[in-house]
Amino acid sequence: MNDQSLWYLENIDMQGLFCPKKIAGGKLDSLTHKSYTKTEYIYLPDEHADRVYFISEGRVKIGNYGESGKEITKTILGPGELFGELSLIGEEKRRDFAQAMEDTQVCVMTVDEMKGMMREHSPLSLFMMKIMGSRILEMEQRLESLVFKDSRTRIIEFLKNLANKKGQRVGYEMLVRKFMTHQEIANLTATSRQTVTTVLNELRAKNLLTFNRRRLLIRDMEKLAAEMTS
């Protein structure tokens, strides 16, 4: 199944599905909307997995802890994205944690509620399959990158993928709003904050991108990709 065959799934109004105020008749008034403050945990490893979460505002970090207690960041999600979906395929206890990175609001659905919505909205089932498949592929690619590529290449590849996934084209450039901190990028690429800073400053000196805490602007995607082989 390729991206072209799933083009119509991008038009699903996910916010409308999960926000009861936007559904005629209030069919989903039973869904719970919860707010979390920055650094607050939404769930922790070994907690019972019986909920699926949809982010309406804010950002959420998904990760776990290694044997030494070191934090490992798996992904960072924003508005319009789901997490906790493994409970739909039989996960009984959480294997990771979910933590609010800023003040965040989520819609909380039980597994039964989510399965009911998937029965009523058939495109939603395919959408969930796409989410699960893309996340498995993303983790495989990150593992391959960690094994076969050096730190500089991993960071540049991450920037390119971030722009493709969450960027907005502005003329010939790609704009990513709410750019991550250097430490967050380091956690996602298994590098150090100092290395991330060095690579970003190098790319900025080459006029390939500009960045601050609010946004990343990539001036030429092709030239950025070429840096991975230089």
Query: How confident is the model over 188-207, as pLDDT tens digits?
Result: 999 999 999 999 999 999 99
Total domains in the chain come to: 2
Between residues 122 and 96, which one has the greater pLDDT? 96
E-strand stretches of 66-143: 71-77, 82-83, 97-100, 104-110
Q: Does residue 108 share a domain with residue 41?
A: yes
DSSP 228: G
Looking at the predicted structure, is the pLDDT value of residue 1 above 90?
A: no
Query: How confident is the model over 126-160, as pLDDT tens digits?
Result: 888 888 888 888 888 888 888 889 999 999 999 99
For the record, the structure tokens of 212 come out as 């601050």
DSSP 181: P
If pLDDT is split at 50, 70 and 90, which confidence band does 66 have? confident
E-strand stretches of the chain: 32-36, 41-43, 51-57, 60-65, 71-77, 82-83, 97-100, 104-110, 168-170, 173-177, 209-211, 215-218
Q: Does residue 132 share a domain with residue 153?
A: no
Count the Cβ atoms, other than its own, within 10 Å of residue 62: 18
CATH number of the CATH domain containing 195: 1.10.10.10
* Among 225, 222, 147, CA closest to 190: 147
Q: Does residue 128 share a domain with residue 82?
A: yes
Q: What is the pLDDT of residue 19?
A: 58
Which of 95, 112, 145 marks a domain boundary?
A: 145
Q: Does residue 174 share a domain with residue 128?
A: no
Q: Does residue 129 share a domain with residue 20?
A: yes
Q: Does residue 175 share a domain with residue 118?
A: no
Query: How confident is the model over 152-181, as pLDDT tens digits?
Result: 999 999 999 999 988 999 888 999 998 999
Please state the rounded mean pLDDT for residues 57-75: 87
* Among 210, 177, 194, 211, CA closest to 59: 177
Tokens 């559904």 locate to 23
Q: Does residue 189 share a domain with residue 135?
A: no
Angle among Cα 110, 55, 135 to the nearest 5 degrees reads 85
In this structure, of 47-51, 78-82, 103-107, the range with the lowest mean pLDDT score is 78-82
Structural domain range at position 220: 149-229
CATH number of the CATH domain containing 51: 2.60.120.10
Measure the CA–CA gap between 119 and 160, rounded to whole angstroms: 36
Q: What is the pLDDT of residue 23?
A: 38
Measure the CA–CA gap between 62 and 60, rounded to whole angstroms: 7
Count the Cβ atoms, other than its own, within 10 Å of residue 70: 9
Between residues 46 and 4, which one has the greater pLDDT? 46
Q: Does residue 80 share a domain with residue 124?
A: yes
Which of 82, 115, 145 marks a domain boundary?
A: 145
Q: Does residue 181 share a domain with residue 105?
A: no
